[in-house]
Amino acid sequence: MLSEETNRQPLSTAPDHMSQKKKATIEELIARLEEITGKMENPDTGIDQSIKLYEEGLKIADVCRKRLLDARQKIEVINPGSSEEKQPEPEKKQDYGLFSNS
């Protein structure tokens, strides 16, 4: 049986929602990712709901990644050369293998 909490509306992450709703903070988005993880680990969560949660989680993770990159760029403008010592490899999108043929 799905609880009320399972059917709650996702946080605003898409650009078209941001103009209508309060833009979620990175902390709120991370908390939602943790909530999604917990629900997906629950054996009572059905496959269809798990897929919806997974898709929402990917969207939220992408928003977080973009915001962190934006923050890094702003810091670089404020403090040029601050990231010259440690330049991480550009992040690649992860393929979790859920829909691959292998």
pLDDT tens per residue across span 25-77: 999 999 999 999 999 999 999 999 999 999 999 999 999 999 999 999 999 99
86 in any annotated domain:
no
Contact of 13 with 46, CB cutoff 8 Å: no
- Which amino acid is it at 8? R
pTM: 0.59
9 in any annotated domain:
no
Residue 60 CA to its chain's centroid (Å): 2
Residue 93 structure tokens: 């999108």
Of 88 and 47, the structure prediction assigns the larger pLDDT to 47
| Number of separate domains in the chain | 1
What separation in angstroms does the CA of 22 have from each of 5, 33, 59? 20, 18, 17
pLDDT band at 15 (very low <50, low <70, confident <90, very high): very low
- Which amino acid is it at 23? K
Residue 65 CA to its chain's centroid (Å): 7
Confidence check: pLDDT of 14 > 70: no
Q: Look up the domain containing 47 and give its range.
A: 22-78
